[in-house]
Chains A and B, each alone.
Chain A
Amino acid sequence: DVQMTQSPYNLAASPGESVSINCKASKSISKYLAWYHQKPGKAIKLLIYDGSTLQSGIPSRFSGSRSGTDFTLTIRSLEPEDFGLYYCQQHNEYPFTFGSGTKLEIK
């Protein structure tokens, strides 16, 4: 199985700041990585797929990038609704696997 190593585990930032979350695949997954946002009591939301393609309706302050097997989610100008859990998922091969999650908290 492809192991997805996500970092950091916890992240604290203030509204208006920018943050980055990283995900490293244990082998090549080409560009096939998705990012999700989970908040208590709300459905998990797809943010980005194929490494850098913004899902419809997601604000442009979210962006994704790739360098080999390293992927980064960047959130510019944090809004209060951006706090919560973030997960990456490789969608290149079976079984699809997720990173362990990053908890983004308000500083």
Chain B
Amino acid sequence: QVQLQQSGTELVKPASSVKISCRASGYTFTDYYIHWIRQQPGNGLEWIGWIYPGDGNTKYNQKFAGKATLTADTSSSTAYMQLSSLTSEDSAVYFCGRGGAYYASYWYFDFWGPGTMVTVSS
């Protein structure tokens, strides 16, 4: 069965960076897009961007360009998101979600990871 497993809670200092992971299993990792979504405390969901592990292509929400960097390691079926120049505004839960396949593109998210909480505090 499709599963997305995310790395654990992060407590990081302002101005630093953090890299969180999303390990996929149960399907061909290189065939499907991986999306990242943010949920700030008490707020709704925001789409950050996607990576296509098959060729490493990425697409970002302009709001997160320069803040988030998406990569993928096909040898371990793991997607990563690095967040840089962290401020308290970046404190949130970050989810990975599976999107469509290259042969059947769709832009909703049919499987989600459990989320990674990132807290930015000195």
Residues of A within 8 A of B (CB): 32, 34, 36, 42-46, 49, 55, 87, 89, 91-92, 94-101
Residues of B within 8 A of A (CB): 4, 35, 44-47, 59, 61-63, 95, 97, 106-114
Closest B residue to A44 using CB positions: B112
Chain B hits for A34, CB < 8 A:
108-109
Chain A hits for B113, CB < 8 A:
43
Assess whether B44 is in contact with A98, with CB atoms less than 8 Å apart: yes
Chain B hits for A98, CB < 8 A:
44-47
- Which residue of the partner chain, among A91, A100, A101, contacts B106 with CB atoms under 8 Å? A91
Assess whether A43 is in contact with B111, with CB atoms less than 8 Å apart: yes
- Which residue of the partner chain, among B106, B111, B112, contacts A49 with CB atoms under 8 Å? B106
- Output the least CB separation between B87 and chain A (Å): 21
